[in-house]
Structure 1
Amino acid sequence: MNRLLLSLLLIVFFSCASRDDDITSQSNNNISKPKGLFSSSFGNESALDNNQIKGSLIRVTWSDIEPSEGNYDFSIIEQFLVSIKSRNLKWSLGVIAGGDSPNWLIDSYGVDYFEIMGFDNTLKRIPKIWDTRANEKLALLAQALANTYKNDEDLVLVYVPQMTANGIEGHFNGVSTTELTNAGFTADKWVESVKETANIFANAFSNKAIAVEVHDIMDDTSIPNRIMTDLWNDSALNHRVGAAIWWISGKITYQPNLINALNSFQGDIYAQAIGRSDQTERFEDNDYTTIFSQAQTMGVRYVELWEYEFVYNTFPTEFENFNNYTSTTFE
């Protein structure tokens, strides 16, 4: 199926699907965007009892929620929601694709792929997002998820799945430029395909804030910068698709050009701390709290901390101060 035909089908598909939906407005006034501190996970449920937590991210793999083609199983999401709903918290959704895409996508549906070595020294098959068949199936997944969760007022952010090393973050750390080029990767293919995936999820979840995680790719800041600025400036998306950085650390030496681009970015920025506060070397001047000052400098409205911080209530004053900042700064 060529890209033009896919685009036409998506327009018809989502237009028809939205007619029976009570929440279809694209007006920014009807979008409740998250702000403040969320947990990036909660294997330890006591993290959700911290009085400064606003909600939590729920992460699931595509392979777990669509184990066979067209058969969706959201029971993992539902299990997590029990803990969140019982505490009247908000939640964000992150579906992990990349090497955690279901095997049937490649083995029976035939999406093209390339192989990389993961950080755990296991070989990963990465579907090529520029193979239009990948986004065809992501469109069906997005609609199935939206049919179930679009009208949940507690769902406040949906991440765009990516065909990358870890399936959400927009990077191939540890994979050489030569390997990517040999796989057929080009900047234009990547930018257009990621934007297409973002549009798919934004159209399915037409009443939710959407985030695309950005990293330099092949040491090139222009690639993520094109993605985030094009999506933010797309009038059809009405300023709902923001940029996410799952690597905020207080440092300006990691991806400095992308940090500069984000400082100039006019759209919403969502962040996740790069690590736990006891991993002091990961933060500027070995000081975890620099992430909060950096977040304010960059205009970040929402930060996910690792659950460790909430379980041990590591920096209660800083948590409260950041929540107060976002409450008074962002709608």
Structure 2
Amino acid sequence: MTARLLLAALFLTLCACGGGGGSTDNGSDSNREVVDTQSDPSTSIDPDDPEPTGIGDSEDGQDDIVDDPDEPESPKTYELAGIYCSCGPTTSTSSSVFNNIEEAAYLDGVLVRIPWAEMEPSPGVYDWSLLDQQLVKAKTQGLHVTFALLNGYAAPAWLESEGADMLDYIFRGDIPRRLPIPWDETYLRYLTNFIAALGARYSGEEALQLVHMTNSTTNGFEMQYFFDAQAEADFYAKGYSETALVNSWKRILDAYNQAFDDTRMDLDVHPVLGSPTVAEQVVAYGQASIGARFGVFGAWWSRRNAEVAYPEMYNLLLSGAASSFAGVQLVGTASTRAYNEITREDLLDAIKFALQSGIYYIEVWNQDLLNTDISPQMGGFHTSVNNAIK
């Protein structure tokens, strides 16, 4: 048995793997909205919640995982593992690498999301200062970085004056937003030019472990579109088809592949307007064209979402884990009254389930990373994640 299979077998033995637990996405069946961490709410712990149990047999909650000494280890050039902070976005007034992040001793890295509009304030003029600052802060604290360009509503407003077709929509019931049509040629030309410049500056950066590739979507980070009836009708009227959207994604994947030719890259998978086809075709293209550097990411992660809400997307994650790597972002936080609150039991179960599924890159909300009530369990998970690539 390989070390990875041994890890999975141990977790299956330790955990009761029933179907319950986890949090489902909010919204309709066709367009469930998942968490988009756009803020950094303060921690709020419910003292009446039961204490979570450990995941292993040791007193500190860490598993004793022993690799098979007779099993030779194959080199895994693009293996990716770690506990990363799903922190708020970086802007001119906020930082993803927050000041007391060193208090989370089991942390490997930070997700840094920066709006495209802040990185290209005018056509062809690039401002790298925010990402430079985040990389310096992360390296000072011994952390890796995953980068995501916030797109969609966070794309530059000047795209419209340059001729890009735009769509108006309402976000989360009452927030008016606009996004570029993802198959619009002006949008794609400026985006692919930006990606080329981004890669010319940061490809080969040691601290940059992963790039989440993004397109013009409703929250600018994940693949899905959650529109009201009017916006969905407008989307179709502007030429939406699965083929048009898949071709847009192919252009973006090609641009990232050329710009970051030695960097791991992935993208979030979601059903698009109720169908898994776009996600399935885009993942197949990424696996064929990029190969082992391409992974699959789920920014909606809980056991229930994987088993009930998004089984086709879960299958894509499994295919990514088998061929290269897969990663997840927890669907909510257990440590504060935030947009998508989950229980501590659900949080711990979601991480166990990720490890059982061969997924070792896990983004956890910053409130949970600093919650001392679950530190022993999180420390155990961190040990297991790091053992997975030894």
What is the TM-score when the length of structure 1 is the normalising length?
0.83
Shift of 1:144: 1.7
Contact 2:84 2:111 in 1 (8 A): yes
1:131 to 1:294, Cα distance in 2 relative to 1, 3 A: same
- Cα distance, 1:263 vs structure 2: 3.3
Paired residues, number: 300
Within 5 Å, give how 1:221-236 maps onto structure 2.
221-234=276-289
Alignment of 1:77-96 (within 5 A): 77-96=131-150
Letter in 2 for 1:246: A
RMSD: 2.4
Q: Of the candidates 55, 63, 66, which is equivalent to residue 117 of structure 2? A: 63
2:361 is aligned with 1:302: yes
Report deviation, 1:311: 2.0
Q: How much has 1:32 moved relative to structure 2?
A: 5.2
Task: Work out which of the residue numbers 311, 321, 325 in structure 1 matches 2:370.
Answer: 311
Match of 2:25 in 1: none
CA drift of 1:212 comes to 0.9
Change (3 A) 1:47 1:188: same
Identify which of 352, 375, 379 aligns with 1:320: 379
**Partner residue of 1:167 out of 202, 212, 220:** 220
- What is the SS of the residue equivalent to 2:163? coil
Structure 1 residues 105 and 315: CA distance shift in structure 2, 3 A: same
Q: Is 1:273 matched with 2:319?
A: no
CA distance in 2, matches of 1:219, 1:294: 25
CA contact (8 A) 1:62 1:97 kept: yes
* Higher CA-based Rg: 2
Question: What residue identity is the alignment partner of 2:82?
Answer: G
Give the Cα–Cα distance (whole angstroms) in 1 for the partners of residues 344 and 362 of structure 2.
20
Deviates more, 1:315-324 or 1:216-225: 315-324
Given that residues 32 and 156 in structure 1 are in contact (C-alpha distance below 8 angstroms), is that contact kept between their aligned partners in structure 2? no
Distance in 2 (CA, whole Å) between partners of 1:314 and 1:272 is 21
> Would the alpha carbon gap of residues 80 and 244 (structure 1) be closer, same or farther in structure 2, given more than 3 Å must change?
same
Question: Is residue 2:207 matched to residue 1:154?
Answer: yes
- Cα deviation 1:51-88 (Å, max 9, x = unaligned): 11001011100000101011111111223233211112
Q: Which has the higher contact order (CA 8 A, sep 6+)?
A: 2
Deviations 1:203-235 (A, max 9, x none): 10111000111111111112211111221122x
Map of 2:106 onto structure 1: 52
Residue 302 (structure 1) shift: 0.4
- Give the Å deviation of 1:317: 3.2
Q: Could you tell me which residue of structure 2 aligns to residue 36 of structure 1? A: 82
Q: CA–CA distance in 2 between the matches of 1:157 and 1:222?
A: 25
Which secondary structure does the structure 2 equivalent of 1:289 belong to?
helix
Shift of 1:284: 7.9
Structure 2: gaps (5+ residues)? 1-74, 88-95
> In structure 1, what is the Cα distance between the partners aligned to 2:315 and 2:204?
36
Name 1:6's counterpart in structure 2. none
Check the 8 A contact 1:115/1:126 in 2, yes or no: yes
Q: Compute the displacement of 1:148 (Å).
A: 2.0
Write the letter of the residue equivalent to 2:267.
Answer: V
1:43 deviates by 6.2
CA distance in 2, matches of 1:132, 1:33: 35
Asked if structure 2 preserves the Cα contact closer than 8 Å seen for 1:273 and 1:304, the reply is yes
Aligned partners of 1:98 and 1:271: how far apart in 2?
A: 21
Query: Does 2:226 match 1:183?
Result: no
Matched-pair contact (CA < 8 Å) for 2:330–2:347: no
Structure with more helix by fraction:
1
CA distance in 1, matches of 2:180, 2:133: 28
Label 1:214 to 1:178 Cα distance change in 2 as closer, same or farther (>3 A).
Answer: same
Whether the aligned pair in 2 keeps the contact of 1:284 and 1:290 (CA below 8 Å) is: no
Q: Which residue of 2 aligns with 1:3?
A: none
Distance 1:151 1:259, change over 3 A: closer
What's the secondary structure of 2:174's corresponding residue? Answer: coil
Q: CA deviation at 1:279?
A: 6.2
SS of structure 1 residue aligned to 2:309: coil
Note the C-alpha offset of 1:318. 3.0
Residue segments in structure 1 that go unaligned for 5+ positions in a row? 1-28
Q: 1:262 aligns with which of 310, 317, 325?
A: 317
Which residue number corresponds to residue 17 of structure 2?
none
Task: Tell me if structure 2 keeps the 8 A contact 1:48–1:55.
Answer: no
SS at match of 1:196: helix
Q: Go from structure 1 to structure 2 and tell me whether the alpha carbon gap of 1:283 and 1:263 turns closer, same or farther (over 3 Å shift).
A: farther
Pair 84,49 (structure 1): closer, same or farther in 2 beyond 3 Å: farther
Aligned equivalents of 1:247, 1:238: Cα separation in 2: 24
Give 3-state SS (helix, strand or coil) of 1:315's partner.
helix
**In structure 1, C-alpha distance between the alignment counterparts of 2:257 and 2:200, rounded to whole Å:** 13
- The equivalent of 1:287 in structure 2 is 346
- 1:33, 1:157 within 8 Å by CA — same for their partners in 2? no
